[in-house]
Amino acid sequence: MKRRRLGQNYLTDSLVINKIIMSAEIQPHERVLEIGTGNGILTKELAHLGASLEAYEIDQKDFATTLKELENAANVIMHLGDAFKGTPRFDVLVSSLPYSRSASFVEWIAQIEYSRALVLLQEDFVTKIIANPGTRDYRAVSAIAQISSEFKVLTKVDRKSFSPQPRVTSLLVRVEPKRRMAGAEIVMVKRLFSLRRREVVSALAKLGMASARKDYSKRRVYSLTPEEVSEICCNGN
């Protein structure tokens, strides 16, 4: 699948790349993962740090170009494929994600053991994952993100930092783990929020889910806090 079909725009701004590198605070002994090498500009900077680097790219042409430029880098392993279909081991994740993969990223990293991640995400999507309960933007992905991770916006990234320029603004976000979620728990959260406007008791009955320990009276699913969603879908862990 071509990266443009995935909503990918290549990062070209050296100042933004330096900001990502500095914010990642990578140590020589750490394992680094990059998802989506694109034109390889960030990959080459990561390789120069000397840490162990694994990089994934799904576009064969971009993969071949980056692989050729890094063929003499002994600390780099390149993979042609989708990192989200596996469970690579890493300490630090660095990525300029295709916008269409943002929700997949949240669900995937919720299940992974890691130290921190620095990712570029669409501003509108970040608004959704940090949305407060009861608001229009509060969805299943919001609950999953807030149950599993801490998201901190570091800086706004101008559209001119990419080629071709996207129609949206991006944000550089630092992600740190709070609680690992099982795949079945993520599915449960998504099922619950498929009925986000229903009363909680009605939604649970509809889904055949066990009764919650808390009395939610007439509250709607979209009003549940991440902690309450965790209690219902994740056994309160």
Residues 177 and 190 in one domain: no
Check residue 122 and give its pLDDT: 95
Residue pair 7/143 in contact by the 8 Å Cβ criterion: no
Structure tokens at 3: 């990266």
Residues 150 and 224 in one domain: no
pTM of the complete model: 0.91
Nearest to 26 by CA among 9, 42, 37: 42
Residues 14 and 64 in one domain: yes
Query: Tens of pLDDT along 141-150?
Result: 999 999 999 9
Check residue 212 and give its pLDDT: 61
Residues 174 and 192 in one domain: no
Domain coverage including residue 36: 4-181
Task: Give the model's confidence band at 2: pLDDT under 50 very low, under 70 low, under 90 confident, else very high.
Answer: very low
Check residue 237 and give its pLDDT: 45
At residue 172, what are phi and psi to the nearest 5 degrees?
Answer: -90, 125
Check residue 104 and give its pLDDT: 96
If one counts the domains in the chain, the total is 2
Give the SS3 label for residue 12: coil
Instruction: In whole angstroms, give the CA distance from residue 171 to residue 19.
Output: 12
Mean pLDDT for the stretch of residues 33-39? 93
Residues 200 and 88 in one domain: no
Residues 140 and 208 in one domain: no
Residues 224 and 152 in one domain: no
Residues 167 and 195 in one domain: no
Residues 142 and 214 in one domain: no
Task: Give the model's confidence band at 97: pLDDT under 50 very low, under 70 low, under 90 confident, else very high.
Answer: confident
Check residue 59 and give its pLDDT: 92
Give buried/exposed letters for 211-235 (b at 16+ CB in 10 A, else e): ebeeebeebbbbbbebebbbbbbbe
Residues 149 and 214 in one domain: no
For the domain that residue 165 is a member of, what is the CATH number? 3.40.50.150
Residues 91 and 161 in one domain: yes
Residue 235 has pLDDT above 80, yes or no: no
Query: Tens of pLDDT along 110-135?
Result: 999 999 999 999 999 999 999 999 99
Check residue 213 and give its pLDDT: 66
Residues 166 and 196 in one domain: no
Query: Tens of pLDDT along 75-96?
Result: 999 999 999 998 999 999 999 9
At residue 36, what are phi and psi to the nearest 5 degrees?
Answer: 85, 85
Of 181, 198, 213, the last residue of a domain is 181
Strand spans (E) along 40-194: 52-57, 76-80, 92-96, 116-122, 149-157, 162-163, 170-177
Check residue 8 and give its pLDDT: 67
Residue 231 has pLDDT above 50, yes or no: yes
Query: Tens of pLDDT along 172-217?
Result: 999 999 999 999 999 999 999 999 999 999 999 999 986 666 788 8
Instruction: In whole angstroms, give the CA distance from residue 126 to residue 122.
Output: 6
Of 145, 164, 181, the last residue of a domain is 181
